[in-house]
Amino acid sequence: MQALFLSYIYILAKLARACPSSPFHVFLIAVIVEVGMDFFPNLLHLVILCISVSLIFLIYKQKSSHAKLPPGKKGWPVIGETLELATARRRGTQEIFFNDRMRKYSQDLFKTSLFGENMVVFCGASANKSLFNDKKNLSTWWPRSILKIVFVSSPELLEDVAQKDFAQMRRSVVEFFKPEALQHFIPIMDSMAKEHLETEWSPYRKVKVYPLSMKYTFALACRFFLNVTNHSHVTKFADHFAIMMDGLLSVPINIPGTTFNRAIRAGKVIRQEILEVIKQRKKELSENNGTVARDFLTRSLLELDENGKAINEMMIASKIMSLLIAGRDSTNSAITFVLKYLAEFPHVYSEVFKEQMEIAISKGPNDLLNWDDIKKMKYSWNVALESMRLTPPTQGTFREVVNDFTYTNFTIPKGWKTFWTPYSTHKNPKYFQDPEKFNPSRFEGNGPEPYTFVPFGGGAQMCPGREYARLGILVFMHNVVTRFNWEKAILDEKLSFNIAPIPVDGLPIYLKPHSHK
C-alpha cells in the first residue's frame, strides 16, 4: 500500500509541474506536502479523485489548445451575459450591447454565453453570407424557453419536438408565401385596412399607433393563416398572445406567478385553440369533399409528407403559432416605425403621399388594391426599407453548430450556438454612408451591397414571409397616408425590445384627416 501511495504522490507531482498555472496547482502541492504516510488510508480516495480530475483537466486543456476560439467573454457562470442583454433590451440599448463587443473583440465575430449556451455572434456582411448559407455545419435552433412556450404542449415532449425535422413545413411555408400565391390576398388586405382605419382611427384625434396597428396585423395573420375572421375569436387569441409574448424572452423560471409560467400557460391555451380550429377545419374539408381554401392551415392539412402521410397536427399548430408571432409583431413593428419616420420627415411623407394618391385617383370608388398597384409603390417601399434599416423589426436568429468548423481562423465547436444581428451592418459606416441619416434613395438602383441589409435574413435563410410583410406594410401605408397626415405627440419617445422594437408609449400621434376624405 505504501508503494501504491508513493506512486500516486509521484503522479501528483508530475501533474503539478505539467500545469503550474492551473487552479489545481496549489491544491496538488498542498496534498504532496501535507499528506503523511500515517494518514494515507483515509485520504487515498481523495488522492485518486484529485488525479482523475487533474487528468480530465489536462486532456481538456490539451484539446482546447488546438482550438482557437473566437475572442470575447462568457460572463457569469450558467447565466452568462443573458441578464445584460435582457437589461439592454428593456432600456432600448440592444444595439449598444452588440456594438460594444464588436469594438472590443472583433468586427467579424465574438463569443458570449446566452440562454445557458456557448454562443458565437457573427458580425458583418461576410459573416452574414457565411452563416446564412452554411447548411453543412449549421441547423435550426431555438432557446429551450421559446421551445417550451411555442412548440410543445407539455415539458416531456420538449426534446422530441426540438429534434423534429422542420424541412417539410418550411417547404410548405415557402410555397405558400410565393408572390404569385399572395396576389389574390391584396384586396382582402386592403379591405381589412380600410375597415380598421374607419373603426379604430377615424373617430379620434389622437391615437397610439403601435397597439392599434397590432390589431390590424394580428387580425390579418389570423385571416391569412387560419381563416379565422370572427372578431371575438380573434380578440380571444390576441389576449392570450399578449401574455405569451411578454414571457417569450423572460427569465425561464417556471413557477406559478412568474412571467415565464404565465407565458407557458397562455401558449398551451393558444395551441389548444388552434387544434380546435384544425378539428373543425378537417370536418369541413370532409363534408366539402376536400375543397381547397387559400389559408395556410387548410393547405397544410391537405399536404402529405415525404412518406405519404398527413403532417402531424401538433407540428402544424406549432408552426402556425410561430407564423402568427412573426405576422403580429414583426409586421406591426415595421408599420409603426414607418409611420414614425413619416412624421419626422415631412418631405418624405410628401413624396409617399404623391405616389399613393396617384394610385388612389386611378381607382374607382369601390375598387380595391391589386398587384399592379403594389408594383407602382416603389418610393413607398424604399421608405419602408430605410425605416427597417434604422429600426430592424427582426433582431436576428439562432442556429446550432452540428460540425466543428473554422471562420476567420477561429474554431466554432460542435454543440455551440450562433447568432446574427442586423446591428452589425445596418448602421455600420463601412456599408452605409452617413448611416444615421434617413435616406430612402439608398435603395434605388441595385441598392446596398449583398448581406449588408438583412431585416429578413438572407441567402438560404431568407425569411419566407418577406413578401407577405411587404404587402401588409404597403397596403397599410396606402390607406393611412391617403387618409391622414399626423404629428408625433412625444418628440423623443424611447424604445424597448421584445421580439421586435417597441415604442415605450405606443407612438401616440395627432391625426389630421385630409380634406378630400
Question: What letter does residue 311 receive in the DSSP assignment?
Answer: P
C-alpha span between 372 and 122 (Å, rounded): 39
Q: 398-401 and 138-140 as β-strands: parallel, antiparallel, unpaired?
A: antiparallel
AA identity, residue 183:
Q
CB 22, CB 61: distance < 8 Å: yes
Question: 486 phi and psi, to 5 degrees?
Answer: -160, 160
> CB count, 10 Å around CB of 97?
20
**Residue 463 marked ligand-binding:** yes
Q: How many Cα atoms occupy the beta-carbon half-sphere of 280 within 13 Å?
A: 9
Residues 6+ apart with CB under 8 A from 469: 330, 331, 334, 393, 456, 463
Q: 495-497 and 410-412 as β-strands: parallel, antiparallel, unpaired?
A: unpaired
CB 144, CB 316: distance < 8 Å: no
Q: In b/e form, how buried is each residue of 198-230, taking b as 16+ CB within 10 angstroms?
A: eeebeeeeebbbbebbbbbbbbbbbbbbbbbee
Torsion over CA: 309, 272, 264, 302 (sign):
positive
C-alpha span between 517 and 514 (Å, rounded): 6
AA identity, residue 381:
W
Residues 6+ apart with CB under 8 A from 37: 2, 5
DSSP 66-123: T--PPSB---BTTTBTHHHHHHHHHHT-HHHHHHHHHHHT-SSEEEEEETTEEEEEE-
Q: Which residues are annotated as a binding site?
A: 463
Q: Which residues are annotated as a binding site for heme?
A: 463
